[in-house]
Amino acid sequence: MIAAVAAGVLVAASGVSLGLWASSDGDGSPAGSTAASAGQTPGGRDEEGAAPGKSPSPSPSRTYPLSKAPRTIPSVRDHTAERGPGWRPAKDHRVVVTDPALADEGRLIAGELGLAYAGEKGDRRDGDLRLELNRGSGANPESYTMTVRGGRVTVTAPAEAGVFYGTRTLKQEIKGAGTAPEGVVRDEPAKQRRGLMLDTARKFYTAGWIEDRIRELGDLKYNEIGLHFSDDQGFRIASDSHPEIVSEQHLTKAQVKKIVDLAASRHITVVPEIDSPGHLGAVIAAHPDLQLRNAGGGAVRGAIDISDPGSAEIVDDLLNEYAGLFPGGQWHLGADEYQALVVSDPEASFPGLAAAARDKYGPDATVEDLTTGWLNDRAATVRAHDRTPRAWNDGFFRGGSVPAAKDIQVAYWTGKEIGARPPVEYLSEGRKVINYNDEFLYYVLGEPLTFVYPTGERIYEQWTPLVLRGTTPVPDRYDAQILGGSFAVWGDIPRAQTQDQVAAGIRLPLAATVQKLWDPDRPELSWAQFRALADKVD
């Protein structure tokens, strides 16, 4: 965070470690080397109006106070202050790009600020907003440098995502204060995964509503939106391979493609989730022969019989089909709350599963082993499409004959479920973890069980990515294994809130969550200041 102003430079507080920055200040000048930062006006005069070495004399040149760091959500991580008027958009200003890959980012910010999009131009004009790539910098691809100097703005980054985030900072500066302050912003996220997950299976959300959330997420520098579109209550995306399982209320593939394309334009990955082998009630409704039954012949709600080859066939059909619809590199496999494992003796209660486990993995294998084998097989299916798999933490078990594949990331949500272990157990195994802490980040419609709607204030003041379970952080040494976090909206009582109420309810929690994912240190602003800022830049 910004700690002090010294010699015209805002100094980062101790303990903040930032990676390689995207570039120099945009015009080849080192930070703080301009006449303005040395206490001179842009015309080369000192603050008394005299040229260097001459007696003071009246001058029409203006002097400016040292700039203050911009206020944005999430806050920028470093700002070098300079003296100057800053920059505000005008109709005759241009957006210029140095690479055709930045056309989307250029056109978007031009439209938002009312500027002319000029495409690729070599000349420089007063008022220009210039977007540049510095692909060979070796920096974090989500980092960027934004220089406001001499009546122009330059955003430079090693990849398109960084340039986009620079334009989001500029947009918020203009919306909140009217002017981008003179100086240099150097910024990058602390965590690489910053997400919102939507349970669209139990509560149907329209395509337009999801698109609005993507625009909101993009402006906040989120880079994931998860769609949990299959559960006991519904299957919400059209299917060509198994149309019989699709709910009446669903998204068409054309609608999903539009969502995916909009997300990509905001550098957001859509992460699909078909939760198995539990939570497959909508699939089982069309294929009752695949439902798991206990030793007494009783049907187990939502659970598919993983000893039946037909179960793997239908789930793999769906995973393979949707790989073409969701091109992003992430895939959520679910794996939580398989009801065969919530009884005291799974082998006695489900002898068919126990026999299948022994046949496949040896005489000492258990139902847990068979379930882990199912997860590994589904991970192999999505891995063949170059996807990185993740699964809920209670889908990973201690011991056993069959370990979960090492590349399956842990979506840690709770310690309350059977099979859930303390976060350090997963981390000590070397696993990568994404924080979905249900104590802070779960927005469960209707507030069933012990859930209460999370508040932005509590997230802002008490949560960090290290707080994976409950309210206690894991040791700092595991920080690099925690890839990021995700706020989650669950539809347990779907009619408890309308779409508009959900959007309003998650607005401040989303702002607070991304602030702590971008920079987990104690925020500079109080909660009251942060909330007021959110109202300005929203």
Q: Are residues 385 and 471 in the same domain?
A: yes
Q: Which residues are identified as catalytic?
A: 337
| Domain at 135, CATH number | 3.30.379.10
Q: Are residues 223 and 326 in the same domain?
A: yes
For residue 400, is it within any domain?
yes
For residue 532, is it within any domain?
no
Find residue 183's DSSP bridge partners.
81, 148
Q: Tell me how far apart the alpha carbons of residues 285 and 263 are, in angstroms, rounded to a whole number.
A: 32
Q: Are residues 512 and 401 in the same domain?
A: yes
Q: Are residues 265 and 116 in the same domain?
A: no
For residue 36, is it within any domain?
no
How confident is the model over 66-88, as pLDDT tens digits? 999 999 999 999 999 999 999 99
Pick the last residue of a domain from 187, 216, 237.
Answer: 187
Question: Is pLDDT larger for residue 133 or for residue 28?
Answer: 133
* Average pLDDT value for the chain: 90
Q: Are residues 161 and 234 in the same domain?
A: no
Q: Are residues 178 and 197 in the same domain?
A: no
Q: Are residues 415 and 465 in the same domain?
A: yes
Cis peptide, bond prior to residue 277, ω within 30 of zero: yes
Q: Is the model's pLDDT at 27 over the cut of 50?
A: no
What b/e string do you get for 273-295 counting C-beta neighbours within 10 Å, with b at 16 or more?
bbbbbbbbbbbbeebeebbbebe
How confident is the model over 153-168, as pLDDT tens digits? 999 999 999 999 999 9
For residue 9, is it within any domain?
no
Q: Tell me how far apart the alpha carbons of residues 273 and 473 are, in angstroms, rounded to a whole number.
A: 27
Instruction: Give the lowest-confidence range in 3-7, 208-212, 220-224.
Output: 3-7
For residue 528, is it within any domain?
no
Q: Is the model's pLDDT at 215 over the cut of 90?
A: yes
Pick the last residue of a domain from 136, 170, 187.
Answer: 187
Provide the phi-psi class of 134: left if phi over 0, else alpha when psi is between -120 and 50, else beta.
Answer: beta
For 78-119, give the secondary structure using H, E and C: EEEECECCCECCCCCCEEEECCHHHHHHHHHHHHHHCCEEEE
DSSP letter (8 states) at residue 66: B
| Domain at 275, CATH number | 3.20.20.80
Q: Are residues 332 and 433 in the same domain?
A: yes
Domain encompassing residue 131: 78-187
Q: Are residues 227 and 208 in the same domain?
A: yes
For residue 17, is it within any domain?
no
Q: Are residues 253 and 378 in the same domain?
A: yes
The pLDDT value recorded for residue 43 is 34
The pLDDT value recorded for residue 37 is 36
For residue 56, is it within any domain?
no
Predicted TM-score (pTM) of this structure: 0.89
Q: Are residues 142 and 269 in the same domain?
A: no
For residue 220, is it within any domain?
yes
Q: Are residues 223 and 146 in the same domain?
A: no
Q: Tell me how far apart the alpha carbons of residues 67 and 82 are, in angstroms, rounded to a whole number.
A: 6
Domain total in the chain: 2
